Amino acid sequence: HDCLLFHRLLQGLLSILRKLKSTPDQEVRILLLGLDNGGKTTLLKQLASEDISHITPTQGFNIKSVQSQGFKLNVWDIGGQRKIRPYWRNYFENTDVLIYVIDSADRKRFEETGQELAELLDEEKLSGVPVLIFANKQDLLTAAPASEIAEGLNLHTIRDRMWQIQSCSALTGEGIQVSLNPPPNSPTKFLCALILLFSPCFCFS
């Protein structure tokens, strides 16, 4: 069973790397989703080493792009308000990695966020797409640990893709180990960090 999971993990990583080598622009498309007020935009700005002192709710979408030595990393941050969620599917095409952000301190919305995540995982256009779940707002005393969230959302039942859940605080930067500003000698730092995060499949951080 473990060998099968490792095989799926390896195949997923190879598919991303294969796309990098086979497409002229070597583009990686990362989709950032989650409920409103989950901290998606703060997380994205933290990843990009930008100022997070003035954050407003995303009404449409934000895109952060980094191009270095032939590699292009595009992160699409889509608003999470209920009225916007039906439009999420417009951005599914050609997604390489799905990042889903959860407000760990808002326990009243765990059922809602779990339902939205389950629907995303059932989407045909996102079939097999690796998913990285950020259990955000761990700086708050009321935050549920990543292990509790994973159990509540039955993440252990996911068998068709790589997945990982990562504790973090977008506000303090804790648990966010990747950067969208890779140094010149490391153009694939962000991609490599994603691979490292996914490598201990079914592991809580």
177 labelled as ligand-binding? no
Dihedral angle, C-alpha 139, 142, 147, 152, nearest 10 °: -140
20 labelled as ligand-binding? no
Q: What is the C-alpha to C-alpha distance for residues 1 and 83, in angstroms, rounded to an integer?
A: 41
Q: Which of 201, 33, 34, 205 is nearest to 110 (CA)?
A: 34
37 labelled as ligand-binding? yes
56 labelled as ligand-binding? no
Question: Among the options 11, 59, 69, 81, which is catalytic?
Answer: 81
38 labelled as ligand-binding? yes
Residue 81 annotated as catalytic: yes
40 labelled as ligand-binding? yes
39 labelled as ligand-binding? yes
Q: Is the dihedral of CA 112, 117, 122, 123 positive or negative?
A: positive
Strand-pair partners of 141: none
Sheet holding 97-103, edge to edge: 61-68, 71-78, 27-34, 97-103, 131-136, 163-167
128 labelled as ligand-binding? no
Write out the binding residues for Mg(2+). 41, 58
Write out the binding residues for GTP. 34-41, 80, 136-139
Please identify every residue annotated as catalytic.
81
